[in-house]
A = this chain, B = another copy of it.
Amino acid sequence: MRKTYTLSQLTQNLEVTIKGDAQCVIEGVCTIQDAQPGRITFLMNPLYKKYLPTTQASAVIMTVEDFENCPTNALICRDPYYTYAQIAAFFDDRPQPTAGIHPTAVIGQHCQIHSSASIGANCVINDNVRIDAGAIIGAGCVVGEFSEIGESSRLDANVTLYHKITVGKRVVVASGTVIGSDGFGIAKHQGIWHKVPQLGRVIIEDNVEIGSNCSIDRGAIDDTVIEQGAKLDNLIQVGHNVRIGRSTAIAGCVGISGSTTIGNNCLVGGQSGFAGHITVADNVAVTGGTEVSKSIREPGVYSSGLGGLVTNLERRKNTARFQRLETLYTRVKELEQALTELTEKKNT
């Protein structure tokens, strides 16, 4: 049976003013456009304001500015999306595993596993691993020797951690992600590539979240570091010795080449790519698909390429125009000369 809460219960620790019936019973969340009675939603994105006057939701979380158009109970606050996040947590029905080690898990020697941690079925925890209180290791995970997983952190099913990986507190790592694989270090000698041993570690600081199927390489000499509160989406490549700063958020399919440092509070759009050995300042945003080919020293919003989605036919024309550009420079130069001559003649 679905759990329900009154608006009063949902908001008791929040900085929210209830306009309407504080005893209204809420059984779940909904979007503002596909709303239904008994559900709560929020309004943040101006594009969705048009749905407010007719929404069927039983309550809407909003700023005071939108209140006049609200046809139902309103929760007035400064930051509706953040308030929504707190309220939605009441309705999160993600299964909570029980503490303890599943009988099918394989546990190495000299491990320190806190009694309140949960080790899922068919996990393999290698020797000398430390897993702290409340940590959850999903089914099928493999954790390498001497790795450490901090308090209340969670590895979802089928995550792979190599040896000597340090994961802080309250970290979340989604399924399929690999942390600590060898960096791409190869040295060519007499026409043949030779592997350069990758001797560094990976440090994942507190409150980091990493999506699914990411690849985070261990350092070559020093460590690869993801600083506290950074958030990574899915299918992201983090090369060896990369450092990602505090509270930086990185969207899906981004590739970061080795030894690059990204500052604090940056925003990285999906499918962007970073060259190696560069530095990106704090508070930089790069739009989706940007090739960050050199260091960025100043905060700001950066892009590369020419914008513009067009028909394929138009793109071909654009390309042709572009290829004639050198000719155009020549023609303008000739015009300038002709005009100069003409003017000189005239004046003589």
Chain A residues within 8 Å of B, Cβ to Cβ: 28-31, 34, 41, 47, 79, 81-82, 84-86, 88-89, 91-95, 102, 104, 106, 120-122, 124, 126-127, 138-140, 142, 144-145, 156-158, 160, 162-163, 172, 174-178, 181-182, 184-189, 191-197, 199, 207, 209, 211-215, 217, 221-222, 229, 231, 233-235, 237, 239, 247, 249, 251-253, 255, 257, 265, 270-271, 273, 275, 277, 285, 287-294, 296, 300-316, 318-319, 321-326, 328-329, 331-332, 335-336, 338-339, 342-343, 345-346
Q: Are A312 and B287 in contact (CB under 8 A)?
A: yes
**Contact among B145, B215, B305 with A234 in the assembled complex (CB-CB below 8 Å):** B215
Q: Roughly how many angstroms separate A193 CA and B170 CA in the complex, as a whole number?
A: 13
Q: Roughly how many angstroms separate A160 CA and B173 CA in the complex, as a whole number?
A: 14
Q: Are B138 and A140 in contact (CB under 8 A)?
A: no
Please name all residues of chain B whose beta carbon is closer than 8 Å to the beta carbon of A313 when the two chains form the complex: 301
Kindly report which residue of chain B lies nearest to residue A29, judged by CB atoms.
Answer: B221
Please name all residues of chain B whose beta carbon is closer than 8 Å to the beta carbon of A91 when the two chains form the complex: 197, 199
Given A158-B178, A192-B247, A304-B307, 19 further pairs, Cβ under 8 A: A29-B199, A79-B187, A85-B195, A95-B145, A140-B142, A158-B160, A174-B178, A175-B181, A181-B234, A212-B215, A233-B237, A253-B255, A271-B271, A285-B312, A289-B291, A290-B309, A305-B305, A325-B325, A339-B342
Q: Are B212 and A181 in contact (CB under 8 A)?
A: yes
Q: Roughly how many angstroms separate A164 CA and B87 CA in the complex, as a whole number?
A: 21
Given known A288-B291, A307-B316, A309-B304, contact A257–B251 (CB-CB < 8 A) = yes
Q: Are B234 and A237 in contact (CB under 8 A)?
A: yes
Q: Which of A212, A323, A328 has the most CB of B within 10 A?
A: A212
Q: Are B252 and A253 in contact (CB under 8 A)?
A: no
**Contact among B285, B307, B314 with A315 in the assembled complex (CB-CB below 8 Å):** B307
Q: Are B270 and A271 in contact (CB under 8 A)?
A: no
Q: Roughly how many angstroms separate A195 CA and B152 CA in the complex, as a whole number?
A: 15
The distance from the CB of A87 to the nearest CB of chain B, in whole angstroms, is: 9
Please name all residues of chain B whose beta carbon is closer than 8 Å to the beta carbon of A214 when the two chains form the complex: 213
Given known A196-B81, A329-B321, contact A255–B231 (CB-CB < 8 A) = no
Q: Are B158 and A199 in contact (CB under 8 A)?
A: no
Q: Are B306 and A301 in contact (CB under 8 A)?
A: no
Q: Are A106 and B82 in contact (CB under 8 A)?
A: no
Kindly report which residue of chain B lies nearest to residue A92, judged by CB atoms.
Answer: B197
Q: Are B237 and A252 in contact (CB under 8 A)?
A: yes
Please name all residues of chain B whose beta carbon is closer than 8 Å to the beta carbon of A217 when the two chains form the complex: 211-212, 234
Please name all residues of chain B whose beta carbon is closer than 8 Å to the beta carbon of A345 when the two chains form the complex: 346
**Contact among B106, B178, B253 with A104 in the assembled complex (CB-CB below 8 Å):** B106
Q: Are A306 and B306 in contact (CB under 8 A)?
A: yes
Q: Are B247 and A252 in contact (CB under 8 A)?
A: no
The distance from the CB of A228 to the nearest CB of chain B, in whole angstroms, is: 9
**Contact among B82, B233, B326, B335 with A321 in the assembled complex (CB-CB below 8 Å):** B326
The distance from the CB of A59 to the nearest CB of chain B, in whole angstroms, is: 14
| Closest 10 pairs (CB-CB, A-B) | A215-B234, A142-B157, A303-B315, A124-B139, A301-B312, A253-B255, A160-B175, A181-B212, A178-B212, A174-B181
Q: Are A126 and B81 in contact (CB under 8 A)?
A: no
The distance from the CB of A187 to the nearest CB of chain B, in whole angstroms, is: 4
**Contact among B209, B307, B336 with A195 in the assembled complex (CB-CB below 8 Å):** B209
